[in-house]
């Protein structure tokens, strides 16, 4: 004759193993640094490129402190959670753009060498409703900008050629927009 308690002991031991596995999984998942939500935001910088009188070339460097740690705090993320940073677009007002036959933008930092950010190989025109001006979007690089934008200071070098010298000084207003894809805590 079979003892009823033998089956209970066997089921009880299986149950203990299952509960132990669940408890272990709960403990491990609670101790991991969780990534909750994936989203993107933009970091924009504006430059006013001065075009002096009687020159055929410009080559100027602009320095920016991005205060990147503050930007990450504002967007509830941190450097370790950033998935990627790309250049979304480089655009300038058409009036300023029309002065140039060639135009290139480069990015560098104190620790990263200079790379091409955008050029006027191909351009797209669009109308900016906010500023009520025609803008030119330059052909930008596909390179990742993570190591550049995560630095505290970036340098943007603008190099351009003019088909003819200007009679009066002018400016080209440039907007550079980086796209940050990140997780938030």
Split into its structural domains, the chain has a count of 2
- Predicted TM-score of the model (pTM): 0.73
Same domain, 115 and 49: yes
Same domain, 14 and 85: no
Structural domain boundaries, residue 25: 1-32
Chunked into runs of 10 residues, the chain (185 residues) has average pLDDT values of 53 62 53 63 89 88 86 87 89 79 91 91 75 78 86 90 84 88 83
Same domain, 89 and 12: no
Q: Which pLDDT belongs to residue 22?
A: 57
Same domain, 57 and 21: no
Same domain, 122 and 75: yes
Residues of the chain above pLDDT 70, percent: 79
Same domain, 28 and 57: no
Q: Which pLDDT belongs to residue 63?
A: 92
Q: Which pLDDT belongs to residue 122?
A: 72
pLDDT in tens, 173-184: 888 999 999 887
Same domain, 96 and 26: no
Q: Which pLDDT belongs to residue 129?
A: 76
Same domain, 5 and 75: no
Same domain, 76 and 144: yes
Same domain, 102 and 156: yes
Q: Which secondary-structure segment (H or E) carries 10?
A: helix 4-31
Same domain, 85 and 148: yes
Q: What DSSP designation does 148 have? A: H
How far is CA 61 from its chain centroid? Answer: 20
Q: Which pLDDT belongs to residue 31?
A: 46
Let me know: does 45 contact 174? Beta carbons within 8 Å: no
Class of residue 100 by CB neighbours under 10 A (exposed 0-12, middle 13-18, buried 19+): buried
Q: Which pLDDT belongs to residue 135?
A: 77
């Amino acid at each position: 004759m079979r003892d009823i308690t033998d089956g209970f002991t066997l089921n009880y031991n299986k149950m203990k193993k299952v509960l132990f596995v669940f408890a272990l999984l709960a403990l491990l998942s609670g101790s991991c640094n969780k990534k909750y939500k994936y989203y993107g935001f933009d970091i924009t910088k504006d430059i006013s490129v001065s075009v002096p009188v009687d020159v055929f070339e410009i080559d100027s460097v602009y320095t920016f402190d991005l205060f990147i740690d503050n930007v990450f705090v504002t967007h509830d993320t941190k450097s370790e959670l950033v998935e990627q940073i790309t250049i979304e677009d480089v655009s300038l007002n058409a009036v300023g753009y029309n002065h140039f036959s060639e135009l290139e933008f480069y990015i560098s930092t104190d620790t990263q060498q200079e790379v091409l950010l955008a050029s006027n190989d191909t351009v797209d025109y669009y109308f900016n409703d906010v500023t009520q001006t025609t803008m030119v979007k330059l052909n930008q690089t596909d390179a990742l900008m993570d190591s550049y934008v995560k630095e505290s200071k970036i340098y943007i070098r603008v190099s351009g050629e003019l088909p003819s010298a200007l009679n009066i000084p002018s400016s080209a207003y440039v907007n550079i927009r980086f796209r940050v894809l990140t997780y938030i805590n």
